[in-house]
Copies of this chain bind each other. A is one copy, B any other.
Amino acid sequence: MGIKKIVLDVLKMLKGPTIIDVARRLLEIDGIKSVNIKVNEIDVETLTLTITIEGTDIDFNTIKNVIEDLGGVIHSVDEVTATKE
């Protein structure tokens, strides 16, 4: 039983770690199987990203900390899926 999928709308500074670094760091969190990051908008200083995270039991707070460490802010949780298997 747990959260299997989360879709986040994230604002990230253009400078600093690339979205490849973000993907690698998120993947290191327990319970996470795959991370997909799509760039929706490129502004002067920021990137607007859709981050789709899938796993066996996703812990939202750990994700939130990692993203903030890497210069990002979770704008909203757009989708969540939880199942009993």
Which A residues form the contact surface with B (CB < 8 A)? 1, 3, 6, 18-20, 23-24, 26-27, 32-39, 42, 60, 76-85
- How far is B83's CA from A84's CA once the two chains are assembled, in angstroms? 21
Q: How far is the CA of A78 from the CA of B23 in the complex (A)?
A: 13
B residues in contact with A37, CB < 8 Å = 79-81
5 A-B residue pairs with CB within 8 Å: A3-B20, A26-B82, A33-B83, A34-B82, A35-B82
Residues of B close to A35: CB separation below 8 A: 80-83
Q: Are B18 and A1 in contact (CB under 8 A)?
A: no
Minimal Cβ-Cβ distance residue in B for A24: B82
> Are A20 and B6 CB-contacts (below 8 A) given A33-B83, A82-B27?
yes
